[in-house]
Amino acid sequence: MDAIEALMSRNSVPARLLQEPAPEGRELEEILETGMRAPDHAALRPWRFLVIRDEARKKLGDIMADAMALNDTTASEERLESQREKPLRSPLIIAIYADVTENHPKVPEIEQIITAGAAAQNIINAAHAKGYGGIMLTGPLAYDAHVKGALGLAKKDQIICFLYLGTPSDQPRSKPRPPINDFISEWTGDIRKAKAAE
């Protein structure tokens, strides 16, 4: 499919609808390489792609349940078990994160995080172009120190998303999008007053 068709036809696929096969081998490498084409101020290459599959998904669920229990001592066993099972919903997860260079003289941390986010967008689009489905998931545990530490991330690093990938078991419904003109404006050079916070 051509690039515009791929971009315009992509929809997130619920993780529970993702099944085998997932991309692997050279095909997975090629999908991840598209992430390295993201705009990147000063060529810092902050993107990192942590591949999680097979039994490692179960371990990720254990780590997330442990983090939930540490943060909420009232969490029921039912909630903890539900958390443990979440990474098992799809055959492949890519934890995409920014390996942040702190106090860079030219590139603030927010730009590095945006670059890693652009990499994530390239990857999910490339997966779609190859016939796979995916969804970016986060939630409070994506920013939890226990989870980050267990995955080998430094405190400074920022998880962008857990990208769940696989083959859709059903065609995702195309979501209606609002008119593009609702989001476009043009600045013609007039000095404007800042909008008051709503």
* Mean predicted lDDT score pLDDT of the chain: 96
Each residue of 55-68: pLDDT tens digit? 999 999 999 999 99
Q: How many residues does the chain have?
A: 198
For the chain, the domains span 15-172
Q: Which residues contact 153 (CB under 8 A, 6 or more apart)?
A: 97, 159
Each residue of 68-99: pLDDT tens digit? 999 999 999 999 999 999 999 999 999 999 99
Share of the chain above pLDDT 70, in %: 98
pTM, rounded to two decimals: 0.93
Each residue of 101-136: pLDDT tens digit? 999 999 999 999 999 999 999 999 999 999 999 999
What's the pLDDT at 172?
75
Question: Which CATH number fits the domain 15-172, given the four candidates 3.40.109.10, 3.40.50.1100, 3.40.250.10, 1.10.3720.10?
Answer: 3.40.109.10
Cα–Cα separations (whole angstroms), residue 187 to 180, 192, 194, 195: 17, 9, 13, 15
What's the pLDDT at 193?
80
Each residue of 180-196: pLDDT tens digit? 999 999 999 988 887 77
Each residue of 93-102: pLDDT tens digit? 999 999 999 9
Share of the chain above pLDDT 90, in %: 90
Q: Among candidates 163, 89, 71, which has minimal Cα distance to 122?
A: 163
Q: Among candidates 130, 119, 124, 137, which has minimal Cα distance to 14?
A: 137
